[in-house]
């Protein structure tokens, strides 16, 4: 989702165990609007898929992360 200069990467809850996560990422104007990272674990700077880096999408900050209700 793009809001002016801000790009959000959102992981929606799936079947348990799962999590909700919202990240602010740096992405170029030609980056895809829908991305499947192929990763079933929360993303972080230490767990950033090469696939996203190659697509020009880079971790900025985490806005929201919740596992409590989904494990």
- Predicted TM-score (pTM) of the model is 0.77
pLDDT in tens, 15-68: 777 889 999 998 877 777 777 776 778 999 999 998 888 888 899 999 999 987
Q: What is the pLDDT of residue 27?
A: 84
Q: Parallel, antiparallel, or unpaired: how do β-strands 6-11 and 57-66 relate?
A: unpaired
DSSP letter string, 2-62: EETTEEEEEE---SSS--EEEEEEEE-TTS-SS------S---GGG--HHHHHTTEEEEEE
């Amino acid at each position: 989702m793009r809001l002016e200069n801000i790009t959000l990467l959102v992981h929606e809850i799936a079947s348990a165990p799962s999590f909700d996560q919202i990240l602010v990422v740096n992405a170029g104007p030609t980056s895809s609007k829908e991305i499947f990272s192929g990763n079933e674990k929360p993303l972080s700077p230490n767990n950033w898929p090469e696939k996203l880096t190659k697509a020009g999408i880079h971790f900025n900050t985490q806005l929201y992360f919740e596992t409590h209700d989904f494990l």
